[in-house]
Amino acid sequence: AVAASIGAVAVLVGPAEPASAVPDTIPLTLKNESGSTEPVYVYVIGTELASGQQGYADESGTFHAWPAGGAPPVPAPDASFTGPANGGSKTVRLPKFSGRVYFSYGEKLDFRLAEGGLVQPAVQNADDPNHDTLFNWTEYTLNDSGLWINSTQVDMFSAPYSV
């Protein structure tokens, strides 16, 4: 360690304390201030970092790998869980993942599995089964270094939300 005196203040510089390990899951509190009486459906989808597998997480943060896809794409298992009602909140767990948290109002999203993996909603495609469903998402990565969150205003703009 190196010590220095600056005026009447002593400064000690040395190795930093070891950082705390990032837990396998972290809490995410969803708060619904939409003003809508329609149900909200939430999805946590992406790639599990430990295995590299694509899949989804339930509200407790447990990972579920997607089954094999098909050509043409086949319906994916229902990965949704119900979000909070208007004025309410709900805390769920986010796993170490690189993916997205989707939420939709009134209707569940229709995800499909192709041979190469998940087919995600594409609002610019008029033939997409989710074209008329109000939804949005946020991208996140939680790994051993921490949490990174990116809102989707770069990719699209839809239902407002804050992180």
Which residues are marked as active site?
139, 155
* CB within 8 Å of 59: residues ≥ 6 apart: 42, 81, 90, 92, 93
What's CA 27's distance to the chain center, in Å?
A: 11
- What are 20's two structure tokens? 């705390």
Long-range contact set of residues 58-61: C-beta below 8 Å, sequence gap at least 24: 59/90, 59/92, 59/93, 60/25, 60/92, 60/93, 61/24, 61/25, 61/92, 61/93, 61/94, 61/95
Give the C-alpha separation, 49 to 54, whole Å: 9
Backbone CA torsion sign across 42, 135, 118, 68: positive
